[in-house]
Amino acid sequence: MKTALYLTLLVTSLTQVALAQDEFDFPALPAARYRSGQQVLDAFAPISAQTRNSIVEINVNEDTVALGAVVDASGLVLTKASEIRPGKLTCRLANGKEVEAKLLASDEEEDVALVRVKAEGLKPILWATNTVVEGQWAITPGLADTPQAVGIISTLTHKIQPQRALIGVQWSLFTTQPTVEFPIPGFGAEEAGVKSGDVIVSVDGTSVTNRQQVVEILKTFREGQSVQIRFKREEKEFDTSIKLMLLKFSDDVSLRSGGFDEVIEHDTVLEPWQCGGPLVNLDGRAIGLNIARASRVATYALPASLARQILAKLKSKAANLPSDDR
């Protein structure tokens, strides 16, 4: 007997179920024939042929962090902003060349960045104009002859609530007071010098006496924003400014996976770095821009209409840059 970790699918209860080893001894479908297996992906080759010159792989210090969608023959590319960490930015093209790239502008709200790629012969992605329906193929092409992965459209477009951003403290559970047990390494509180035993006196100018009040006020802040917090240490009080950050729950999902105005949800299983590029239909036209791997069952794409609005905004932002920086 082997015990497999089973999550029963009940929201409120997670139980473990023993699974007999023999159950896995039953014949299985070859992986190449899975929904997104190579034999199935092969059928999508004509779509990849149409789109591969409209896609770039975005590298920071030689690590691939995202895909990008070419939106202008002059080398403008849209991608997922939060994946572009500081470092040397380059792009790999379908012809195998690696070229220099530059971040021009970002839209923090929808997590989209506009990047300039120094290359010629790029083909702008064609945007789809027809409506998206549940059950239609959702194709995530890359630089290869066949797509990265495929799935179907899972829901109609909808809004995604922002994720909770954290200052990064572990509360002391021995008191209802907002007392810090310890600052979580790598988060804003640690950087601001918060120490074990510090007690929060006020948040954003509002006095607080318990943890729940702190949490409620912090809910109104987004990641990247800073919040003024007054602490009491022994008998002295002091003010800090702490930057809020997102907590990464798993390597399987994107760090920034919430707070989008409108998304198309699809069931394609992508690695977080496979986001940022176009999501296309069977005509090879972009129905959206993959913006986050959100959970075991969901990948989000900004719909084409929203992606194009953001593109227009980012282009005008970039036009205001000094000419050397464009």
Q: Where are the beta strands (DSSP E) in 50-198?
A: 55-60, 63-72, 76-80, 89-92, 98-107, 112-117, 137-140, 149-152, 158-160, 169-171, 180-183
Among the residue ranges 90-98, 151-159, 233-241, 303-311, the one whose residues contact another protein (CB under 8 A): 151-159
Q: How many residues bind another protein (CB under 8 A)?
A: 54
User: What is the rounded distance in angstroms from the CA atom of residue 231 to the CA atom of residue 27?
Assistant: 61
Is the CB of residue 154 less than 8 Å from the CB of residue 176?
A: no
Nearest CB to another protein, comparing residues 158 and 219: 158
For the record, the structure tokens of 145 come out as 């002859």
Nearest CB to another protein, comparing residues 135 and 322: 135
- CB burial of 84-108 (b: ≥16 within 10 Å; e: otherwise) equals beeeebbbbbbeeeeeebebbbbbe
- Closest contact distance (angstroms) between CB of 223 and another protein is 21
Is residue 46 part of the contact set for another protein (CB under 8 A)? yes
Is residue 27 part of the contact set for another protein (CB under 8 A)? yes
Nearest CB to another protein, comparing residues 155 and 210: 155
Among the residue ranges 40-48, 73-81, 168-176, 306-314, the one whose residues contact another protein (CB under 8 A): 40-48
Among the residue ranges 72-80, 129-137, 253-261, 316-324, the one whose residues contact another protein (CB under 8 A): 129-137
Window 191 to 230, contacts with another protein (CB under 8 A): none
- Closest contact distance (angstroms) between CB of 114 and another protein is 29
Residues contacting residue 112 through CB under 8 Å, at least 6 positions apart: 78, 79, 80, 81, 106, 289, 291, 302, 307, 310, 311, 314
Give the one residue of 85, 186, 238, 297 binding another protein; rule: CB under 8 A.
297
Binding stretches for another protein (CB under 8 A): 4-15, 17, 23-24, 26-29, 31-37, 39-40, 42-44, 46-47, 133-137, 151-156, 158-159, 265, 267, 269, 282, 295-298
